[in-house]
Structure 1
């Protein structure tokens, strides 16, 4: 085999190297950069998916009342009516008419119910007739007295003229004295008859059950046809027909531990919260402290009177009482939004919270105010929102989050 002739090889210095076009090189590097970015984006997305949402502890934005800052003591109790009465009859009989239902409002001396009273009404009529008879007898006695007086005077004149004897004049005098004595007896008979009529009237009134004060009917314990007795120990009988309460005298009775009595005094300001209406706060004042300690519970009964009233308050409602160091000023009567202090952090020189929406942490700027107990007053978010408690520096706006398992 012949050896190659190397003498024919040479370098052509005028030839253009392949790919030497500058514009082509730039395009090639651009494609490479785009490919690298795509690979990085896909890698980051895959890493994010593999990593999953950030586990965080969340709290709910609450409403707080500034009065918590000067609350000395909290206690629980019940709403009661200071003036309350179970209406019954002193008489015994069958309930004939009932004019109220539960919730009915009654005025003082208004007729609420009536027992059968025909026999008592008849006795009253008879007593009234006896009064009329006694008065008629008095008129008759007075007529006889006038006649006896005239006869006596004539006998006196005739005796002076000696037309009659002394015995006849004495007879006229005796008749006159008897007529005078009869008048006194007839007047006493009238008084007795009027007393009997008054007793019959009282007996009739006892069959009428009336309201002793303005109030509201709380319970209805009997129906028409029931037997009513002053004491309901009899079989198939009722004692009280209805129970009424004066709603203007409602107050809260709360048990306070004897170890905390130094924090309470009569006239002290208080704030009342009803379990039925959690958003309702009413001003109150300590009206009385019962001077007896319950030995079994080591508590004292404290009565708190409502200063502010609400038509929805009913007896026996559960209530919470906050005993305050001073009355609530007008600017502190309305609630404010608040969160635990750990939910507020600094980001880029601003105070923010991370609100959780659609499983994402949304950075929200807020303004802060005073501390209310363990909470911090904030603005810029609303009550009921979920926020992250103690968010870390790695938590960013838009980060996927999931509630931490407790």
Structure 2
């Protein structure tokens, strides 16, 4: 009796397994598309399909860069001395010509006074030379008249002529000495004026590198006293583009970027410059692309890291297919050099040549005489969740 019960139980289990396998085989002949409709396949192979549709394809290049001011001016000193006063601090907005620091002017004031004294001496020398020249010319005229009347000698006339020429030379020398003294005075006054450090541009002080009492020594490499960002309302993004992508970048292309400080906030600008100087980093060649970044609300700060994309093409209303459809090949189908997709027609995959266009990674714009909107392209083989592929499940009856 126990053997009979065991045999009946085993037979029931085998029957249940056989019915389950048969139901799977029947289910494999239907593929549920994205619209939710079932599609019968005479070949018995189930495919994943997607409809050809018109979409907006945004093709872009992903880059990273830094937010920097359009112009960053380093202010140095042209004279050496001790910092006496500081008029501008961090974040101070300044205008062109505003005083931002003062170097102790005492020694330069003394130099101006000394130069003024030298100018006075030189002017007196010119006056003395002018008097001597007039006297020499008067003596020459008198001796010339005497020589003409026969009461004077030619020798005296010649000596008078030489004295007149010598006085003229002395006047010329005194005049040039005066010019040299005036130039020295001008230089001294310029150095005195340079003790007042002035802003060369309109902008904002973003760096101050001096303190009151610090000595500034001018050398071949002048120290930077202030760094001024010119117009923080007009920033730019400097991005590094790999050489493989630089050929796709053009001036006036749109750039969209984000910074970590404002999650979810998208800033925009456009490419303004493509610099031809290559940058080599670990044997990787990149080129710097500059894009504008309007900053009217002053939210962007110098040095922020920008995660950006440069819009290469923004195509709207073009026929497009999933990019996976361009990579799909039915089992056993040989590779082809031409781009093509497989369309589901009467349950069979049919190859249709296409010309791919712009892509955003997920979808690709295409041009093809054999496709129209609404056609169903195959993107892959359908595999039910938690089950083996169709080809493997069909081996189960043979194994049983």
Which interval holds the TM-score relative to the shorter structure? 0.5 to 0.7
Q: Report SS of the residue matched to 1:83.
A: strand
CA distance in 2 between counterparts of 1:328 and 1:188 reads 76
| Pair 1:113–1:232, CA change in 2 (3 A) | farther
Structure with greater proportional strand content: 2
Are the equivalent residues in 2 in contact too, given 1:284–1:308 (CA < 8 A)?
no
Task: Confirm or deny that 1:134 pairs with 2:134.
Answer: no
What is the CA distance between 1:124 and its match in structure 2?
1.9
Q: Residues 169 and 299 from structure 1, CA distance in 2 versus in 1: closer, same or farther, beyond 3 angstroms? A: closer
Residue among 297, 305, 330 paired with 1:318: 305
Give the corresponding residue for 1:255.
Answer: 240
Does residue 264 in structure 1 map to residue 252 in structure 2?
no
- CA change 1:328–1:174 in 2 (3 A) is farther
Query: Does 1:306 pair with 2:295?
Result: no
**Where does residue 168 of structure 1 map in the other structure?**
156
Tell me how far 1:79 sits from its aligned partner: 0.7
Aligned position for 2:380: none
**Which residues of 2 match residues 206-285 of structure 1 at below 5 A?**
206-230=194-218, 239-247=223-231, 250-277=235-262, 278-285=264-271
Q: Which consecutive unaligned segments of at least 5 residues does structure 2 have? A: 1-55, 317-359, 363-400
Structure 1 residue runs of 4+, over 4 Å off? Answer: 326-329
Once the two structures are superposed, what CA deviation does each residue of 1:61-115 show, in whole Å capped at 9, x if it has no partner? xxxxxxx952412222211124223322233221011110111122233322121
Report if aligned partners of 2:241, 2:289 keep a CA contact under 8 Å in 1.
no
CA separation in 1, counterparts of 2:314 and 2:192?
53
User: 1-side partners of 2:157 and 2:180: how far apart?
Assistant: 35
Alignment of 1:155 onto 2:143: yes
The TM-score, its normalising length taken from structure 2, stands at: 0.58
The separation in 2 between residues aligned to 1:183 and 1:299, in whole angstroms, is 68
Where 1:103 maps in the other structure, the secondary structure is coil
Q: Is the 8 A contact 2:257 2:308 kept in 1?
A: yes
In the TM superposition, what whole-angstrom CA distance separates every residue of 1:159-199 from its partner, at most 9, and x where no partner exists? 22234333433332232112111111111211221232233
Who wins on radius of gyration, i.e. which is larger? Answer: 1
Residue equivalent to 2:275: 289
**Could you say what secondary structure the match of 2:271 adopts?**
strand
Aligned length: 263
Residues 246 and 287 in structure 2, CA contact (< 8 A), matched pair in contact too: no
**3-state secondary structure, aligned to 1:222:** coil
Q: TM-score, normalised by structure 1?
A: 0.57
Instruction: Please list the CA deviations of residues 260-294 of structure 1 after superposition, one character each: whole Å capped at 9, or x if unmatched.
Output: 33432344322233333342422222412353143
